Amino acid sequence: MAKSELKVIGKWSSPYAMRVKIALNIKALEHEHFEETLNPKSDLLLQSNPVYGKVPVLLHHGRPICESLIIVQYIDETWSTDPPILSSDPHDRALARFWAAYIDDRWFPSMKSIMTVEGEEERKPYFEVLEEVLERMEGAFWKCSKGKPYFAGDRIGFLDIAFGCFLGWLSVIEHRYERKLLVEAKAPALVKWAERFAADPAVKGLIPDTDKLVEISKSLQIKWRAAIGKN
């Protein structure tokens, strides 16, 4: 397949764009990458995603598909050859989608809030949310994996992608606030899963360097705090 058939509008630091790249790697699909600066947003992004103006966007023969988890499902359905990303079992598919929605609802918003608020006391409830999510995902891993290496079983699947894309930003939080969250004492299965996930051929090299993410997080922190000030 020619690269021109598929183009990804993304940003190197975006965990959501990383989801799309992992899915494309799993399916061994060649693609072109358009690095979006967001400052200002490119005409290509605004034309491709006029509703939200956000990355990632997948362009397939010029037709845009938006929102990371929708894109991952689109890739799995369009290129339905092995390996699958979502299970063929309806219950397992529903379970993976449920936990992926839970992660998007609870995980990154809390990480963003930790970086946005100014005091340790203000950060406390958001750290509690992250610890709760890790506890729940530890339990979900045992239920979904059925004793195998990944949430999806023997290979990386939908929920692995949905959660694993945030490992780089988790390192940022742990580094900046000197608070280790993903620890073996509390989440032994997730610690081992995270190591396997990062080393998998579909993921290796995609998780951004922590130091680089830390630097961009400082710029984002200023932007997010300014936005709160305006409101």
pLDDT of residue 58: 98
Q: Terminal CA-to-CA distance of the chain, rounded, Å?
A: 48
In this prediction, residue 2 carries a pLDDT of: 61
pLDDT in tens, 137-193: 999 999 999 999 999 999 999 999 999 999 999 999 999 999 999 999 999 999 999
Residue 82 pLDDT = 87
Instruction: Please answer whether residues 130 and 107 qualify as being in contact, where contact means their C-beta atoms are separated by less than 8 angstroms.
Output: yes
181/165 Cα distance (integer angstroms): 16
- The confidence score (pLDDT) of residue 138 equals 98
Residue tagged 């004492």 (tokens): 185
Reference 136, options 171, 98, 172; nearest CA is 98
- Mean pLDDT for the chain overall: 95
For residue range 72-102, list pLDDT tens digits in order: 999 999 999 889 999 999 999 999 999 999 9
Q: Which amino acid is at 61?
A: H
Residue 1 has pLDDT above 60, yes or no: no
Judge if the upstream peptide bond of residue 50 is cis by omega within 30 degrees of 0: no
pLDDT at 74: 98
Indicate the pairing of strand 63-66 with strand 57-60: antiparallel
Domain boundaries defined on the chain: 3-78, 90-214
User: Before 188, cis peptide (omega within 30)?
Assistant: no
Q: Which of 3, 104, 127 is nearest to 54 (CA)?
A: 104
pLDDT tens-digit series, residues 103-149: 999 999 999 999 999 999 999 999 999 999 999 999 999 999 999 99
Provide CATH code, domain 90-214: 1.20.1050.10
Q: Name the one residue in this structure whose structure tokens are 């630091």.
A: 13
Q: What is the pLDDT of residues 15-70, one digit of tens each?
A: 999 999 999 999 999 999 999 988 899 999 999 999 999 999 999 999 999 999 99
Give the model's pLDDT for residue 227. 85
Give which of 133, 141, 135, 134 is closest to 157, Cα–Cα. 141
CB 153 within 8 A of CB 193: no
Contacts of 205 (CB under 8 A, 6+ apart): none
Q: What is the C-alpha to C-alpha distance for residues 102 and 135, in angstroms, rounded to an integer?
A: 13
- Of 3.40.50.970, 3.40.30.10, 3.40.50.620, 3.20.20.210, the CATH number of 3-78 is 3.40.30.10
What pTM was computed for the model? 0.96
Please determine whether the domains at 3-78 and 90-214 fall in the same fold group of CATH: no
Distance CA 78, CA 75 (A): 5
Is 3's pLDDT higher than 80?
A: no
* pLDDT of 4 above 80: no
